Amino acid sequence: MRSNYKAEPYRIKMVEPINQISKEKRKERLAQAGYNPFALKSEDVYIDLLTDSGTGAMSDKQWGALMQGDEAYAGSRSFYRLEGVVKHITNYQCFMPVHQGRGAEQVLLPALVKHEHMHFISNMHFDTTRAHVEIAGARAIDCVIDACFDTKTHHPFKGNFDTKRLKTLIEEKGKENIAGIIMTITNNSAGGQPVSMDNLKETAAIARGYDIPIIIDGARYAENAYFVKQREKGYEHKSILAIAQEAFALADIFMMSAKKDGLVNIGGVLAIKENEALFEQCRSRVVPLEGFPTYGCMSGRDMEALAVGLEEALDEDYLEHRTDQVKYLGDKLKAAGVPIQWPTGGHAVFVDCKAMVPHIPYHQFPAQAVVNALYEASGVRGVEIGSLLLGRDPDTKENIESPVEFMRLTIPRRTYTYNHLDVVADGVIEVYQNKDRLKGLDFVYEPPVLRHFTAKFKPL
């Protein structure tokens, strides 16, 4: 099967040893972690597919750039270098670094919430984005196409907005009550699924018609551009940069977790096309929350590494290999009968646990049970994306039933080889073969916000 895939477009200059602790130890460690893999020590994990956020490998060029960081508190040369790269990619006039994606969220979102009972509408809000929408006193509404939740059916752009529903929602809520339309590219929460340029255009036209600000939550905008090039007519011959620029031209604001397509371990971007007044508001918020506007919680050396990383992430050979790794793992699982979100997206394989363990109800967190079983079986750490992550309704406090129950196997950038993915596939297939024996979980401790990070469970 491997023969269809090109070898890694890089060679290894530095190694970090990893090892697999015994099955008995894994069982013990998982129990100590309260059956929540977030509480595991990384040294007890063999292959870590918890997230692709800040877990990738930097290039030799990025490590070289680190040495050139200008650590001036104000007016750092590294800030201007990074600003130049961000402006080149987005054509936006205003830029400020922030500590990571949620830094941009906490600086920007409250500035858009003008009064009570406002809403943000997104194809799908990422979990921290939803949390910051709610902290800002607004409500988050997801408006993705239905195909997104149908894992078996092939659709090239499962991240697309349901534009018909979007219009109805705006009419229903009243345009003055919509604080912004958030385009999440790619759609992290439902499979790293891309959004087509056609859909971005249609969504932008609707938002413009109602004079609603358009925000790109673009942690993986380069991966999205790659899928547009691969899957959308008319983009075959365009560069990734040109496709990305076309997307940014449609929006007003760009928030980015640079820990994804920035190819760095920490950092974030907030850029605004031309609204100086909004930028001023964000600048006054960024100082107490993140830091002086020319560093915003990033060191000079980190800004240098990000300036290089943003450009490397637009490289087509790199993007081909990255998305191929995801596809490879997905193909292997699918061939063994494991239900997955199909086609595979940009950064992870999403195993459909609703289909895999239908005997576990949503309030017993089926995907968390599968994640735990995988860790026990092979030392591979995945993560739950389902009802546990979704949390409780902010008004009624009831558990919300997620339309999907996924185990996300997230592939860090430039970090693991195809051999590692074979180990992952073997582990998942073993769990799949014993799926009928898996049991659900109940809370021992449940924190009030972003509960999935620190909750503790007992197996039922």
> To which residue do tokens 């893999």 refer?
37
Indicate the residue among 101 and 330 with the shorter CB distance to ligand PLP.
101
Q: Using an 8 Å Cβ cutoff, are 282 and 269 in contact?
A: no
Task: Classify the C-alpha dihedral 90-94-98-101 as positive or negative.
Answer: negative
Catalytic residue among 73, 80, 445, 453: 73
Residue whose CB is less far from ligand PLP, 259 or 381: 259
What is the smallest separation between the CB atom of 329 and ligand PLP, expressed in angstroms?
A: 19
For ligand PLP, which is the closer residue by CB, 101 or 427? Answer: 101
Quick one: CA dihedral 95, 292, 222, 409, positive or negative? negative
Catalytic residue at 260? Answer: yes
Is 347 considered catalytic here?
A: no
Residue nearest to ligand PLP (CB): 101
Instruction: Considering the complex, state which of residue 341 and residue 378 has its C-beta at the smaller distance from ligand PLP.
Output: 341
Q: Are 240 and 263 in contact (CB under 8 A)?
A: no
Residue 164: active-site member:
no
| Catalytic residue (one of 46, 79, 92, 126) | 126
Is 453 annotated in the active site? no
- Given a contact cutoff of 8 angstroms between Cβ atoms, the answer to whether 52 and 260 are in contact is yes
Catalytic, out of 305, 452, 455, 457: 452
Q: Is the Cβ–Cβ distance between 304 and 65 less than 8 Å? A: yes
Q: Which residues bind ligand PLP (CB under 6 A)?
A: 53, 100-102, 126, 128-129, 184, 188, 217, 219, 257, 259-260, 268
Q: How far apart are CB 387 and ligand PLP at their closest, in Å? A: 19
- 426 is known as an active-site residue: no
CB of 195 to ligand PLP, least distance (A): 12
Q: Which residue has the tokens 């979704």?
A: 390
Is 61 a residue of the active site?
A: no
CB 78 within 8 A of CB 70: yes
* Nearest approach, Cβ of residue 31 and ligand PLP (Å): 28
Q: Within 13 A of 186's CA, how many CA atoms are on the CB side?
A: 27
- Residue 127 annotated to the active site: yes
DSSP string, 220-259: THHHHHHHHHHHSTT-TTS-HHHHHHHHHHH-SEEEEETT
CA–CA distance, 83 with 357 (Å, rounded to integer): 48
**Cβ–Cβ < 8 Å for 58, 305:** yes
Residue linked to tokens 């060191």: 299
Least distance between ligand PLP and beta carbon 38 (Å)? 14
Task: Pull the structure tokens for residue 88.
Answer: 């080149």
Residue given tokens 């939550």 in the structure block: 217
Nearer to ligand PLP, 101 or 440 (CB): 101
The smaller minimum CB distance to ligand PLP, of residues 125 and 332, is found at 125
CB of 126 to ligand PLP, least distance (A): 3
As a whole number of angstroms, the distance between CA 406 and CA 149 comes to 11
φ and ψ of 361, to 5 deg: -70, 160
Q: How far apart are CA 105 and CA 96, in angstroms?
A: 12
Helix (H) or strand (E) holding 249, with range, is helix 240-250
Catalytic residue among 70, 127, 324, 426: 127
184 or 364: CB nearest ligand PLP? 184
Minimum CB separation of residue 435 from ligand PLP in Å reads 29
The residues annotated as belonging to the active site are: 73, 126-127, 217, 219, 260, 452
